């Protein structure tokens, strides 16, 4: 139970908002992982960064599983297909998440996509 309720609109509207936010999260996470992998390859210390889960490679402490985020990204992309909205970056990020699931990272924290950028 919460202290308040917020009316967002018709039934299903809040689900659409959630899927949009998950698409944004997924794309940002892919960008963060790729940037950190580049920094590491260039010899830049990652200890000064704020991505402790990635730096420590502690993907077992699951905030959001790769499987669940990729599922929501898939649903968000289906929503974009229904309304004809192009989503080039989200589509590419979704492919990265699918590849990580094939590498058996499904139940790890979604930030484990960093490991895929190292191959």
Per-residue pLDDT of the chain (119 residues; tens, 9 = 90+): 567 777 778 888 989 999 999 999 999 999 888 888 888 888 888 775 656 788 888 888 898 999 999 999 999 999 999 999 999 999 999 999 999 999 999 999 998 988 887 76
Cα–Cα distance for residue pair 44/115, rounded to 1 Å: 17
CB of 97 within 8 A of CB of 114? no
Instruction: CATH number for 13-43+51-117: choose from 2.60.200.30, 1.10.1040.10, 1.20.1250.20, 3.40.1260.10.
Output: 1.10.1040.10
User: 15-28: string of b/e by CB count within 10 Å (b at 16+)?
Assistant: ebeebeebbebbbe
pLDDT of residue 11: 85
pLDDT of residue 24: 94
Residue with tokens 């420590």: 56
Is the pTM higher than 0.85? The answer reads no
């Amino acid at each position: 139970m919460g202290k308040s309720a917020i009316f967002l609109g018709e039934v299903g509207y809040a689900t659409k908002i959630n899927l949009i936010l998950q698409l944004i999260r997924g794309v940002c996470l892919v960008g963060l992982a790729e940037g950190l992998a580049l920094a590491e390859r260039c010899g830049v210390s990652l200890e000064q960064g704020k991505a402790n889960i990635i730096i420590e490679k502690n993907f077992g402490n699951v905030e959001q599983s790769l499987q669940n985020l990729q599922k929501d990204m898939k649903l968000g992309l289906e929503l974009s297909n229904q309304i004809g909205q192009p989503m080039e970056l989200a589509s590419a990020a979704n492919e990265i998440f699918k590849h990580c699931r094939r590498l058996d990272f499904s139940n790890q924290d979604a930030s484990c996509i960093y490991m895929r950028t190292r191959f």
